[in-house]
Structure 1
């Protein structure tokens, strides 16, 4: 009888242990992503985030499609994930509304084993210095501290003490341009799943080291040195025993906030190795500070145009950097376009062909809706939001093409003025892909010069350029940081200040989220 009872006890133990091990974790998804320039007069409102809700959230993540392994490893509860084009500061009303809606969604399906917190890290909000830290704190108040939170970020984001503390796992991109964005988000999810499945839970140690460097992405690209070698040091550290993940954050230079600076964060279960890895990466970052240079030649707009016009290599690309909408510029600064229209070389249709991408002109677009290709049109464009450098332009010309229904621009038209094709949009839009041009009847490869509101070239444009220069133009994301009126960032800060002695780059351990 004793042996029979013992046998049944063993069977029951095996049964329950198997069921426990096979139980899928319940994981929520939430996040808001934007880069917000406090040096731009633009404001970002709720509709700009184009928030995806519930099942629609999965469309952001190919590694969580219906048949994927990761999708099957957990019971996923997508809530709200908003992603806005970089722009001006987010209104308090928009932030409060989106956060409130997210928290309400989270409350509907409590409790959670984990939460995938997908953010950028450079959101600025009216009256809040650390929006992501504020957001994750509010999330914690709903989900509690038993929930494991894995945070995924852009390397140009900012990691405050609060964000580091409330995140149990945290990672960021390792490439700029961000060709590894999806892979980095997958890593954040994989780390979360593994820590839940193996029962290890929260890593025991987190080291966050402030590196007093603040540089634009155009100087820290991983295409060239020293960024290339610096970021190659990250992955080997994650392979060391006792390390869960590691990251180097460059920070966001166009917001005047105390949290904006370089940061290294390393997580893991071995305190000594976490310390060594974080100090090694932080010191490596500091050691190469003087080696960071622009990823391409730079010059004034006049110098850039002279090179482009004289070049035998076509297309020659010019980055109109100061008003780059993908860094936080308003996108409607007319300074560069005014200069182009004043140049004699482009006043005749037989001059060098030039494409300008782009300038918002909602009033002109409204007129164009009643016209056809080939019709003459005139009206004001640009400087409705940022008129600090140049006034609106009275644009006159013939319509070359019209396209409706773009997710960002809404409606786009191309106007021919002399030898310049000017892309006018209803709402601002970045032009990063060949399709952005070919959909408008423009073949970028056959043009002499292409001027784009952008910083470093994204892959498709980079691959077609036969010559490239970055123009130091004015705007809300001015690449000349010495022209920005910083008042609130931590000082001293490289390269703005001189350092008499090297900063303290010793590991600083952040308390676990439940402490």
Structure 2
């Protein structure tokens, strides 16, 4: 067997002012054919897992390019078309192939392309023809379009949020592909539209139990190969935004459709109950100060670079400064200009510095302080599951009992190692202020005495009923209370 694999992924917040060009991919991950590192970067796991599988099976794996950019705004048209065309040229050179296995995100939007993944998959199908297996792994925070379903034989999404299972789901993807290539199964997809958009953390109920049940069904239902929930991505203003269920069966589309609808209607019945309680910055600081011991983690959930925002909001930090809170470590505030100034000044320097709140309205005000530059680290990285997440050249600054990590490559706060790599012992601080919606939970919950989810400012469009969408459908909850009552 000859199998082609490649990856092209980013998550696009169409409301974010931060445009993505090729340099954004270079800052996160851009690897040419055969140059992908041993460890995956989220959506590139099909490449590293493919190496294991093809070595075991004695098959030939032909690696194409792999590109990942941290979430932000629209991808420049020339950047997307250039990266896409590189993969397509590599595929043409690899022909003939028996299968194409891709690592995609599913919420990538470029100038002129509302559906990048659908565009890429369609062009892949045109090259390989109708009889070659085409499959891909997706992030659940994506848009499942009709174009993608038509072009792919099957799609598999991560089940967990936080996405701790991207390698396991890549193994599921490859396991189905191997069985299909050996003639043991004929995978077909059935899709159900839940007519809703919501946030589904699996670190709490009811989504924890829902995902556990999905995995139990995969083990027990005859002919069922995989179940995936496409959560949807509410910050993506595209026509097919919303939550959907995928059932992949062994040539049983009717049974798959019935199961997908059953699960989808159960999800709809639970709408609005999935996300954790969120408080404003004043209540968050009150609760953190009232905790008997630390570290207390305050998660700035909507200034999350993992959702495409800048990660430079200062709303919560300003509240702490106003109240004279000390023994605080902030990880991170994105400010490449401030980082440059700190590197120029050098470790140990005491300098006046303005940082933060440069990217957009409703993110607070820039902070002006006389700071001490405690430590400077080039190309800093933190752990994220089985992978590493870069956050670029970074500076640890200190003022008034507060430590702040300034970074030059946007990245959400995945793991406490973001503090330790900078020289800050996270467990020694009373309060840790981080920027992430839920990916932080798996690692930070191990050291936190309490976790407070804070909704501060408005850097992210997190209320779909109020969001000024131009393209997204309006016939889903919460835009309408009962979409099932609408005429078709």
Query: 1:237-268: per-residue Cα shift (whole Å, max 9, x none)?
Result: 43422333221111111111121101112222
Matching residue of 2:448: 465
Matching residue of 1:508: none
**How does the TM-score come out when normalised to structure 2?**
0.89
The 10-residue stretch of structure 1 (496-505 or 461-470) with the greater mean CA deviation from structure 2: 496-505
8 Å Cα contact 1:362/1:425 also seen in 2: yes
8 Å Cα contact 2:299/2:454 also seen in 1: yes
8 Å Cα contact 2:192/2:257 also seen in 1: no
Question: Does residue 371 in structure 1 map to residue 345 in structure 2?
Answer: yes
Matching residue of 2:56: 72
Matching residue of 1:474: 457
Offset at residue 454 of structure 1 (A) = 1.1
Question: Does residue 328 in structure 1 map to residue 313 in structure 2?
Answer: no
Equivalenced residues, count? 468
Task: Evaluate the alpha carbon distance shift between residue 270 and residue 362 of structure 1 in structure 2; reply closer, same or farther with a 3 A threshold.
Answer: closer
Task: Evaluate the alpha carbon distance shift between residue 424 and residue 293 of structure 1 in structure 2; reply closer, same or farther with a 3 A threshold.
Answer: closer
Offset at residue 51 of structure 1 (A) = 1.8
Matching residue of 1:382: 356
Distance (whole Å) between structure 1 residues aligned to residue 51 and residue 469 of structure 2: 49
Query: 1:25-82: per-residue Cα shift (whole Å, max 9, x none)?
Result: 1111122122111121111112222222222236324994798454332210110121
Give structure 2 stretches of 5+ with no counterpart. 382-389
Task: Evaluate the alpha carbon distance shift between residue 368 and residue 496 of structure 1 in structure 2; reply closer, same or farther with a 3 A threshold.
Answer: same
Offset at residue 482 of structure 1 (A) = 4.2
**How does the TM-score come out when normalised to structure 1?**
0.85
SS in 2 for 1:215: coil
Offset at residue 487 of structure 1 (A) = 3.2
SS in 2 for 1:440: coil
Distance (whole Å) between structure 1 residues aligned to residue 391 and residue 215 of structure 2: 38
8 Å Cα contact 1:248/1:281 also seen in 2: no
Distance (whole Å) between structure 2 residues aligned to residue 56 and residue 444 of structure 1: 34
8 Å Cα contact 2:281/2:315 also seen in 1: no
Distance (whole Å) between structure 2 residues aligned to residue 236 and residue 37 of structure 1: 33
8 Å Cα contact 1:233/1:281 also seen in 2: no
Task: Evaluate the alpha carbon distance shift between residue 500 and residue 146 of structure 1 in structure 2; reply closer, same or farther with a 3 A threshold.
Answer: closer
Q: Find the partner of 1:492 among 467, 475, 482.
A: 475
Question: Does residue 454 in structure 1 map to residue 436 in structure 2?
Answer: yes
Task: Evaluate the alpha carbon distance shift between residue 478 and residue 471 of structure 1 in structure 2; reply closer, same or farther with a 3 A threshold.
Answer: farther
Query: 1:381-427: per-residue Cα shift (whole Å, max 9, x none)?
Result: 23443255434333421112111122533321111110111111223
Query: 1:339-386: per-residue Cα shift (whole Å, max 9, x none)?
Result: 333x1323xxxxx31111122222222222233332102233234432
Give structure 1 stretches of 5+ with no counterpart. 1-24, 347-351, 506-515
8 Å Cα contact 2:46/2:137 also seen in 1: no
1:45-84 equivalences under 5 Å are: 45-49=21-25, 50-57=29-36, 59=38, 60=40, 61=45, 64=48, 68-73=52-57, 74-84=59-69
Distance (whole Å) between structure 2 residues aligned to residue 253 and residue 366 of structure 1: 34
SS in 1 for 2:111: coil
Q: Find the partner of 1:355 among 329, 339, 359.
A: 329
Matching residue of 1:129: 114
